[in-house]
Amino acid sequence: MIDRLEHTESELQKLKLEILQRDIAIASERLKNGEYTEYDDESLPSLLENIKAWGQGKQQFIDGETVSAAPPLAQLSRREQEAN
Same domain, 50 and 67: yes
81 and 53 part of one domain: yes
Say whether both 66 and 83 belong to one domain: yes
Euclidean distance between CA atoms 67 and 54, whole angstroms:
9
Model confidence at 4: pLDDT above 50: yes
pLDDT (tens digit, 9 = 90+) per residue, 21-49? Answer: 999 999 999 999 999 888 889 988 888 88
Task: Tell me, yes or no, whether 22 and 45 share the same domain.
Answer: no
Same domain, 54 and 16: no
| Percent of the residues in the chain that have a pLDDT greater than 90, as a whole number | 36
pLDDT higher than 70, residue 75: no
Closest CA to 43 of 84, 73, 23, 68: 73
pLDDT at 61: 47
Three-state DSSP at 84 gives: coil
At 14, is the pLDDT very low, low, confident or very high (cuts 50, 70, 90)? very high
Do 50 and 13 lie in one domain? The reply is: no
Q: Which domain holds residue 20?
A: 1-33
Instruction: Give the number of domains in the chain.
Output: 2
Give the predicted TM-score (pTM) of the model. 0.52
Q: Which helix (H) or strand (E) holds 62?
A: helix 44-62
- The radius of gyration computed from the CA coordinates of the chain, to the nearest angstrom, equals 17
